[in-house]
Chain A
């Protein structure tokens, strides 16, 4: 079961999305599609999980992206260059 969402570039900086994808690679695969300057769509698919677990993994992933984004906006934290490769 996959979840598709649109992440606004105003709220979710692209480097934060990339870092979260790396951090959650062992739990889910995330594909970025329909990229524009304004934002991008992502499709989150949990690895080998039940319906309940897949939903939880998606929500945990989104919370993590949000945390990174909030730290970026509020604390000026920058993700490492490694997250972009």
Chain B
């Protein structure tokens, strides 16, 4: 049974669906990330006019049994997910960097026993 058409999509003549994405709401990076996770499931073409904040996303199904409306709905949700992830990442960037820096400060990752040892001990076995 075919899904009901989503109100924010437009059906095109070549059996593709069109979603207009406003770059004032969704960054290009969020759009790219959403597209990247869908290119294995459907055909995607991005259309953009210079001096416009709209990118038109053309979606076409790969298999005859595919449901394009469902794909478009999932793509729309993925777009929101990616936007939220990027927003949270930007908001928490400073504290994350602080946590990582603190962790590396506390962990002594360098083994200085070889470089600071006495030559009589010869930890690297250089002496013949």
B122 contact set on A, CB distance < 8 A = none
B35 touches A70 (CB 8 A): yes
Tell me the bound Cα distance from A5 to B32 in angstroms: 20
Given A74-B33, A74-B36, A11-B43 contact (CB < 8 Å): no
Number of interface residues, chain A, beta carbon within 8 A: 18
Chain A: CB-nearest residue to B43: A59
A11 touches B29 (CB 8 A): no
A11 touches B33 (CB 8 A): no
Chain B interface residue number, banded: 10 to 19
Partner of B45, one of A62, A73, A74: A62
In the complex, whether B55 has a CB less than 8 A from a CB of chain A is yes
Partner of B43, one of A38, A63, A73: A63
B28 contact set on A, CB distance < 8 A = 10, 73
B46 touches A66 (CB 8 A): yes
Q: Which residues of B contact A (CB under 8 A)?
A: 28-29, 32-33, 35-36, 39, 43-50, 55, 60
